[in-house]
Amino acid sequence: DAGVTQSPTHLIKTRGQHVTLRCSPISGHKSVSWYQQVLGQGPQFIFQYYEKEERGRGNFPDRFSARQFPNYSSELNVNALLLGDSALYLCASSATQGTFRSETQYFGPGTRLLVL
Amino acid sequence: AQSVTQPDIHITVSEGASLELRCNYSYGATPYLFWYVQSPGQGLQLLLKYFSGDTLVQGIKGFEAEFKRSQSSFNLRKPSVHWSDAAEYFCAVVPGYSSASKIIFGSGTRLSIRP
């Protein structure tokens, strides 16, 4: 079975530009979460989506937005890129049986974004 | 403030030696606890998780972790490490009050294996 897939694998942008990252969850999984991992740190929670609705949001500015599609895939959008947005962006999916806290999340390989 | 602390930034052990990676959390209620491993250039793989019940949890690849409420700790152990265990290890929690799968990660411990 295919795991969580993310595209692109690497991306280089300049300050002020906009970027869209994509994620396809494991087949049958209905929840997608996004994390930002800055070099040398642990991942930080950005968003969780379940059944196309935002379920949770981390402490990130409004420049960050996301959405989930009917097939449960997801996009993360970042506007007005800053140098500090350079990071590995991880997507995770979970099956979700209603108890979100206990769900096991399966992570994709990530998209490495470099902002120049 | 809620936090997960991994006090060891980098640990080096000899192949075949035992391993213990430390993790402390600060929450009022019992959180949901996880250990993840991240190999270079890879995503995160779940090693084990604790929700309730037996405080000694067995995971994949021969790892285990023990939840100690009195010490607010969830240390990861392995009796004999292999060179392939070299990676970054993250302790993580989902707060008991959370309505979402918001995982809070520690800053990680990098494990190196000495031949």
pLDDT (tens digit per residue) in B50-104: 887 888 999 999 999 999 988 999 999 999 999 999 999 999 988 766 656 678 8
pLDDT, one tens digit per residue, over A59-114 is 999 999 999 999 999 999 999 999 999 999 999 998 865 555 667 888 999 999 99
Whether pLDDT at B23 is above 80? yes
Across chain A, the runs of DSSP E, i.e. the strands, are 5-7, 10-13, 19-24, 31-37, 44-50, 53-57, 64-68, 74-78, 87-94, 106-107, 111-115
Q: What is the mean pLDDT of chain B?
A: 89
**Residue where the block lists tokens 């500015």:** A61
What is the average pLDDT across A11-23? 97
pLDDT, one tens digit per residue, over A32-58 is 999 999 998 999 999 999 888 898 888
Mutate to test the interface with A, among B30, B103, B107, B109 (most CBs of A within 10 A): B103
Residue A31 · residue A48 · CB < 8 Å:
yes
pLDDT score for A105: 85
Residue B21 · residue B34 · CB < 8 Å:
no
| DSSP one-letter code for B70 | G
pLDDT score for A60: 95
B103 close contact with A: CB closer than 8 A: yes
Cis omega (within 30 of 0) for bond into B31: no
Nearest CA distance, A29 vs chain B (angstrom): 14
- Residues in chain A with CB shorter than 8 Å from the CB of B4 are 42
